[in-house]
Structures are given as structure tokens and as C-alpha cells.
Amino acid sequence: MTIVPKRSILAIGVTLLVTPVAAADLTASTEPLPPPPPTFYVHAGAFGIFFQTNAQATGGGAFPTTNITIRPVYTLALEAGYFVTPNIAVALSAGVPPLIALKATGFPGTPIFGSNLLGTVRAGPVMGLLQYHFTQFGVLQPYVGAGVGYAVNFGNISNGILTNFSIDQNFAFILQAGADWMLTPNWGVFVDGKKAFYSTDAQGFTIPTNIPVRTHVTLDPWLASAGITFKY
């Protein structure tokens, strides 16, 4: 009968003990890694502009245009951003330019002119934003931002009581807050609100007297949007 040395028995025992531990380590190392932070995002959805108008007549004193109102307008908007870090992003936001009608409410000459509509403009803002995204709340990912906007005028329409109606283009300061709700790692929904501090000048000539009218209008609109978000 062959006698197994004690050292061989000890080596076999140590091998049997170490093998399950090594296998457990290999199993633990195969767990999937968390997904990398996104590089860019896109927001697409409905967009509403709600104006807070305040006008001051700066010319044509015989024509009172200090009470100007603009009804809310709705359109589609797109915002695209690039993540400089997992939390900081730069973004560009724009939309399909809507038609914006300016009306002089309380205008005493409305019965004579048959309307209080001053004119209509097709315009929309283009905004550059710097944002901070909060990533510690799981699928809910709120963000805040600030930046500069520019209201681009795509065309003036003299369909009111002013001829040669026009609105000047100008810059605006933008504040932003919103949140993404991620339904999958890449797709989700969003809500977004912006406040624009914006003023400009509107001008034209009254019909039929050709009295020049120039009014400085403070618009300061609220911008609200909601839709689909994509991150990658």
C-alpha cells in the first residue's frame, strides 16, 4: 500500500479551500459596470411664450400706444446640449418662429380705425445657455441654467393700423430651470421653464395721417416647454 506524505495531503486541502474563493472572485468581477455619463442631450417638444408687456411711447405723442398686449403664442422648440463634465453642459435652444400680434388695448381711436391691432411679426428667440445638471436623484435629473438670447425677426406684417410696421431685434438675459425624467438610460420626458428679460422698439406710421409712431416695449416673457429628451 502506498503511503501519501503528510505534505501532499496538506497541499491538496489548501487547494480545495482556495479554489471556491478564487471562483467567487471571478464571479464578482463579471458584474456589469454602471453606464457612462451622457455626452450630449436633445430636447424636442411643445413651446409656449407668455408675454409680460409694458410699453412707453417714445415718439408720435398724438398716438397713445402705452397699453400694448400680446396674446400667448405656441410653437415647437428644439434644444441641444453638450456635457463638458457629467454635471455641466452648454446648450443651444431655438424654435419654429411664431406669429406675434401687437395690440394697443384701450386705444381711443379703435372705432375710427376699426381695429386696435398695430401689426404682426414673425420672430423667435435663439438662446445660448450654461447649465448645471443634478445627477444624484436617479431617474429624476433636474437642472438650472443661465445665458443670453437673441430675438430674431424673420418678417414684419403691416396688417394693422400702422404702415411700415416693424420690431427691432435685440438681446435678452435668460434664466432657466427644468427637469428630465428618464424612462430608459437614453430616453425620457422633460419640462422646462425660462424667464427672458427682453425689451425692444416697435414703430410704424398711422393710417391715413402718416404720423410716425415709435414705442419701446418691455416684453419679459415666460418661456415654457415640455416633450421628449434623448441622452447619449
∠41-42-47 over CA atoms, to 5°? 140
- Determine how β-strand 162-167 pairs with β-strand 199-206: antiparallel
For residue 12 the three cell numbers come to 491538496
For position 23, what pLDDT does the model report? Answer: 47
For position 51, what pLDDT does the model report? Answer: 92
How far apart are alpha carbons 130 and 84 in whole angstroms?
10
For position 7, what pLDDT does the model report? Answer: 56
Q: Is 48 exposed, middle or buried (0-12, 13-18, 19+ CB in 10 A)?
A: middle
For position 57, what pLDDT does the model report? Answer: 60
Report, as ranges of residue numbers, the positions in the chain whose pLDDT lies below 50.
1, 4, 10, 14, 16-18, 21-24, 26, 61-62
For position 20, what pLDDT does the model report? Answer: 52
For 36-231, the fitting CATH number among 2.40.160.20, 3.40.630.10, 3.10.20.30, 2.60.40.60 is 2.40.160.20
Domains of the chain by residue range = 36-231
Instruction: Write down the pTM of the prediction.
Output: 0.80
For position 52, what pLDDT does the model report? Answer: 87
For position 63, what pLDDT does the model report? Answer: 53
Beta strands in the chain (DSSP E): 40-50, 54-59, 68-69, 73-83, 88-95, 99-104, 117-133, 140-157, 162-167, 170-182, 187-197, 199-206, 212-218, 222-231
- DSSP 3-state of 26: helix
∠228-231-232 over CA atoms, to 5°? 150
For position 155, what pLDDT does the model report? Answer: 95
For position 59, what pLDDT does the model report? Answer: 55
Residue 171: what residue type? F
Number of C-beta neighbours around residue 55 at 10 A? 22
- Spatial neighbors of 42 by CB under 8 A, at least 6 apart, are 78, 79, 80, 81, 229, 230
